[in-house]
Structure 1
Amino acid sequence: MKTVLLQGKRVTDRVFEPAQLKRLEDMGAELVIFREEDNASPEEAAELMRGAEVVITSWGCPKLEGAVLEAAPDLKAVLHAAGSVKHVVTGEVWERGIRVTSGAAVLSRGVAETALGLTIMSMKNFIGAAAAVKGSGWWNQRKDSVRDSIREMYGSTIGVIGGGHAGKHFLHLLKGFQLSALLTDPTYTREMAAEAGAELTGLEELLRRSDIVMVLAPEIPATYRMLGAENLALMKEGATLINLARGSLIDEDALVRELQSGRIQAILDVTVQEPPGAAHPFMTLPNVMLTGHIAGAVNNGLLAIGRFIVDEWGRLAAGEKMEGEIDPSRLDTLA
């Protein structure tokens, strides 16, 4: 099958190892690879797509619409080597009955692993402990406020907002600990949540009970500023809010006020404006850690997405269902 890689060389080299591209060819793919450093323009994409049966896209690729799709009347599938397909796949793709898959599940595994690491780091107050060691000398059994703030995973309550790919895998990772996991997600039943290892609750109850509030919900209209002043005020004293989703899910002005009170802490991988301006309170508040949008794949982890997309090509060629295939009827619940 003629298979076009629409992303530029810079992205292709970061996502696909040469061995994976060779595997595609060995399985029968007639590869057409865009060789320029940057991604193809719509005009270049239309030229590349002539006669294509499969197109592989990734970050920054042009939308699949108009002349780009018209150049490939036999297009069977879009394999998106990234997360959300909404910036690339248009209504025209779905109207033509073209199948679509993405690497969202693979990308989300990295997010879930980051979520676990940040959860443990927050519970243990590693940042405060490290600063205390440097400022006050080594300590072991010394009694002080830093030591009093250190907690273990045992017996804690972790609240997860969003049970998509990342949320579900995070809950799976939490099964190795003796703790209580809460989940809020309108697409889940109580039975589904229990199978994932969590108790299904409403958002307000989750905020009241959780030591860690992990935000992993999709950025859709229904989640815009879902965490505002009233909800944030429900969080327990000493709790930590961790946002690995998108900045738009939180009313940042309300969060700043809560943080300034000293009641809670926050770890933010994402913000509304990235990066926040130098004068933004997030940059100076002592109870905020900013991680610079690194929760998903950044370097070598990207190669797992490329491997998955090659596997998806193999499943497509064999007439099998692709593991990451997207049901268009669920688009309004997906990032």
Structure 2
Amino acid sequence: MSAPRPRVGIVVTAAGRRRYFFPEHVARLERSADVVWLELEGPDRVFGPPPQDPALAARVAEFARDLDAIVVSYGCPRITDDIMAAAPRLRLIGDTHGDRFAARVDVDAAHRRGIVVSDTTNGSSDPVAEWALALALIGLRNAGALFRRLVAGELLWPDRTVFLEDPGYLHGELTGKTVGLIALGNVGRRLLELLRPFHVRVLACDPGAPDVLANAYDIDLTSLDNVLERSDVVISLVPLTQATAGMIGAEQIARLRPGSVFVNVSRGAVVDTEALVERLRQGDIIACLDVVEPEPLSIDSPLRTMPNVFLSPHIAGVTDAAEPRFFEYMVDDVERVLAGVRPRYRLVPREPSSS
């Protein structure tokens, strides 16, 4: 007698299902499991913490009762220990849009129960890494300032000797430079791949990165101060948490070497905006920012008019090609777990003492 087919449940708003859960990936999952849906009301994207709704949580607990895996996304309440207790067959909890912060899943409770947790927010990592590289190149060529002058109708080089003093001339090539990365998550590791043809030296600050990454990627793991002081380009990739909010403050910004480029594609609140503005007023660094604090950027912000600032409106990870990947990667991980293989995008308890 053959074993019963696994049962996989998906909890998401109806709008989110239409936007992110592409039929071809659902069909692939259906080849290895019975797939059931709990569609909720709400938009395709929901910002902020998951809803605290006891009635909704009870609906999810009932829905999960006979599931082997549950995939959650926008609109779903937090998957608590009580919900897990109601689902004795549960082997995997997957979040397609959790930003790897476990807001929708009690990872500690899942760990205690032997339930694997996976988060595939890294579906947007590739375009973020690409835009980080692009911003580094834009900054090194001083392209933001040159663009401003061109569209303003200026004749840029009435005297060609002026060109010899332009930062884009003096520091314009990425090849052979030292690049500092702040964090080595999915975006950082993809960026390391993109940087290889430029033969750069990479300094990386990530206290959670295992030493084996240094050999695997031929990089040097070091302190934040070293990254800031010794890099020609510094790229912030760190997620926003209580520990990282404001971590790049006035003291850190002062350590950036003259002539360097600072790129931020992480979160604006990681950086002290006022301190960055003050350093930029000195005119000796260039900033290329996809994120700022606050967002949207105020109309009177000096960042809008500074010649040594290039801005983009928080679009690094927002591409049409990225949207199918969130669930595509989740299907990969569901298939792995159902086959007895460790998932690639696993979340583990943050505290080492968690049992």
TM-score normalised by the chain length of structure 1: 0.87
What residue number does 1:9 align with? Answer: 14
Give the secondary-structure state (helix, strand or coil) at the position aligned to 1:277: coil
Higher-helix-fraction structure: 1
The letter for the 2-side match of 1:165 is N
What residue number does 2:47 align with? Answer: none
Partner of residue 144 from structure 2, selected from 104, 127, 145:
127
Partner of residue 166 from structure 1, selected from 182, 187, 192:
187
Is 2:311 aligned against 1:290? yes
Output the CA distance in 2 between the equivalents of 1:253 and 1:132. Answer: 25
Gaps of 5+ in 2: 1-5, 45-50
Partner of residue 274 from structure 2, selected from 253, 258, 271:
253
C-alpha displacement at 1:172, in angstroms? 2.0
What residue number does 1:92 align with? Answer: 109
1:149-185 CA-to-partner distances (Å, cap 9, x unmatched) read: 2201123221111122221221221111132221122
1:104-134 CA-to-partner distances (Å, cap 9, x unmatched) read: 4433233222211211222222223333444
What residue number does 2:79 align with? Answer: 64
TM-score normalised by the chain length of structure 2: 0.82
Is 2:127 aligned against 1:110? yes
The 1:19/1:163 distance shift into structure 2, 3 A limit, reads same
C-alpha displacement at 1:306, in angstroms? 1.6
Q: How does 1:197-276 map to 2 (within 5 A)?
A: 197-276=218-297
Output the CA distance in 2 between the equivalents of 1:235 and 1:185. Answer: 18
Output the CA distance in 2 between the equivalents of 1:212 and 1:121. Answer: 11
C-alpha displacement at 1:49, in angstroms? 2.9
Gaps of 5+ in 1: none
Output the CA distance in 1 between the equivalents of 2:200 and 2:85. Answer: 54
Is 2:159 aligned against 1:144? no
Alignment identity in percent? 30
C-alpha displacement at 1:99, in angstroms? 0.7
Output the CA distance in 2 between the equivalents of 1:315 and 1:189. Answer: 24
Q: Which moved more, 1:180-189 or 1:234-243?
A: 180-189
Give the secondary-structure state (helix, strand or coil) at the position aligned to 1:241: strand
What residue number does 1:192 align with? Answer: 213
The 1:3/1:280 distance shift into structure 2, 3 A limit, reads same
Output the CA distance in 1 between the equivalents of 2:269 and 2:352. Answer: 18
C-alpha displacement at 1:279, in angstroms? 3.7
Report how many aligned residue pairs link the two structures.
332
Asked if structure 2 preserves the Cα contact closer than 8 Å seen for 1:157 and 1:209, the reply is yes
The 1:299/1:60 distance shift into structure 2, 3 A limit, reads farther
What residue number does 1:322 align with? Answer: 343
Q: Which moved more, 1:283-292 or 1:251-260?
A: 283-292
Output the CA distance in 1 between the equivalents of 2:237 and 2:307. Answer: 24
Is 2:299 aligned against 1:278? yes
The 1:146/1:112 distance shift into structure 2, 3 A limit, reads farther
1:201-239 CA-to-partner distances (Å, cap 9, x unmatched) read: 322222122121101123334433221111111112232
The 1:209/1:66 distance shift into structure 2, 3 A limit, reads closer
Asked if structure 2 preserves the Cα contact closer than 8 Å seen for 1:2 and 1:32, the reply is no
What residue number does 2:70 align with? Answer: 55
Output the CA distance in 1 between the equivalents of 2:272 and 2:28. Answer: 46
The letter for the 1-side match of 2:216 is E
1:2-48 CA-to-partner distances (Å, cap 9, x unmatched) read: 22211112222222211111111122233224164548843543443
C-alpha displacement at 1:316, in angstroms? 1.6
Partner of residue 27 from structure 2, selected from 1, 22, 42:
22
Is 2:326 aligned against 1:309? no
The letter for the 2-side match of 1:72 is A
Partner of residue 101 from structure 1, selected from 118, 122, 132:
118
Asked if structure 2 preserves the Cα contact closer than 8 Å seen for 1:161 and 1:184, the reply is yes
Is 2:202 aligned against 1:181? yes
The 1:27/1:88 distance shift into structure 2, 3 A limit, reads same
Asked if structure 2 preserves the Cα contact closer than 8 Å seen for 1:189 and 1:200, the reply is no
The letter for the 2-side match of 1:55 is I
Asked if structure 1 preserves the Cα contact closer than 8 Å seen for 2:144 and 2:310, the reply is no
The 1:288/1:313 distance shift into structure 2, 3 A limit, reads same
Asked if structure 2 preserves the Cα contact closer than 8 Å seen for 1:128 and 1:146, the reply is no
Output the CA distance in 2 between the equivalents of 1:307 and 1:172. Answer: 22
